[in-house]
Amino acid sequence: MDEEAPQKGTVTQRAIEEIKAMIAGGRLEPGQRLPTERDLAVQLGISRSSMREAIRALTVLGVLEARHGSGIYVTALEAGDLLETFGVVADLSRGPRLVELLEVRRILESTATALAAARITADRLAEVEKHLTAMNATDDPEEILAHDLAFHREIAGAAGNETMAAILEGLSSRTFRARVWRGYQEEGAFARTRREHAAIHRALVARDPEAARAAAAAHVGEVEEWLRARLRPD
């Protein structure tokens, strides 16, 4: 058995696996700086070009971070870093898959809201109220969307599971929401949305997890059903 790996796939792919293994194996800690591109290339016996492709790939995955002029670093490897790419899925999905994404969001969001009802702090609840008020005080769709996102983001954060919050963040990415919400709100769903948000807020104030779960599920489910119906005729 030779020390050299027996050429599986492209050299770049091998380099990617190699660096991933270094991190998984603890040889590289979060936040730590890596050797230079040039040194890494020599270590793995490949060209700098190929090494750069590997680094770029791990960068978009949120595993590494390249700082121009400074060096390459391992990210904190927190949920937010690694799940940032989840937004890409939402942005590139169309048709039936959008419904599936909303179904996943309904399941996670309802659970997260239920957990939040039991755990949310007074400070955080005040933050939620702030966005709820701001959302109802304007007619600018852009602003409404922003506060809507923040409203759910605060709640997801209060659930105490960063991974879940990061996934929900990806499932609610700005472009994704904008695409679906546009049509939904055009049908005069503003009033309904406000009622649903108010119901979620009431459940949080009452610290009633089951009511919160039901309100959140209904909220997302409304959009889900609307989208499902909209795709049916096609």
Contact positions vs its own copies (CB under 8 A): 12, 16, 20, 23-24, 49, 52-54, 56-57, 59-61, 63, 77-79, 82-83, 85-86, 88-89, 91-93, 97, 100-101, 103-104, 107-108, 111, 161-164, 167, 175
Strand, helix or coil at 33? strand
| Closest separation in Å from C-beta 103 to its own copies | 6
Q: Interacting stretch for DNA, rule CB under 7 A, among 42-50, 116-124, 134-142, 214-222? A: 42-50
Which residue in the set 18, 20, 22, 50 belongs to the binding site for DNA (CB under 7 A)?
50
- Determine which residue in the list 2, 3, 70, 232 makes contact with DNA, applying CB under 7 A: 70
- Closer to its own copies by CB, 94 or 123: give it: 94
- Is the Cβ of residue 64 or residue 200 nearer to DNA in the bound state? 64
Q: Is the dihedral of CA 102, 105, 107, 109 positive or negative?
A: negative
Q: Which is nearer to its own copies, 132 or 168 (by Cβ)?
A: 168
Rounded Cα–Cα distance for residues 65 and 188 (Å): 44
- Token pair of 98 as six digits: 């959008």
In whole angstroms, what is the distance from residue 117 CA to residue 112 CA? 9
Residue 85 structure tokens: 């790419």
Tell me the two tokens of residue 19.
């660096």
Q: Which does 36 bind (CB under 5 to 8 A by kind): its own copies, DNA, none?
A: DNA
Give the per-residue SS3 of 63-82: CEEEECCCEEEECCCCHHHH
Measured between alpha carbons, how far is residue 196 from residues 15, 148, 153, 202, 216 in Å? 49, 12, 16, 10, 8
| Minimum CB–partner distance for residue 186 and its own copies (Å) | 20
Q: Positive or negative CA dihedral for 172, 94, 192, 144?
A: positive
Residue 166 or 204: the one with the smaller Cβ distance to its own copies is: 166
- Is 6 a residue that touches DNA (CB under 7 A)? no
Of these partners, DNA, its own copies, none, which one is at the site of residue 195 (CB under 5 to 8 Å by kind)?
none
Give me the least distance between CB of 8 and DNA, in Å please.
10
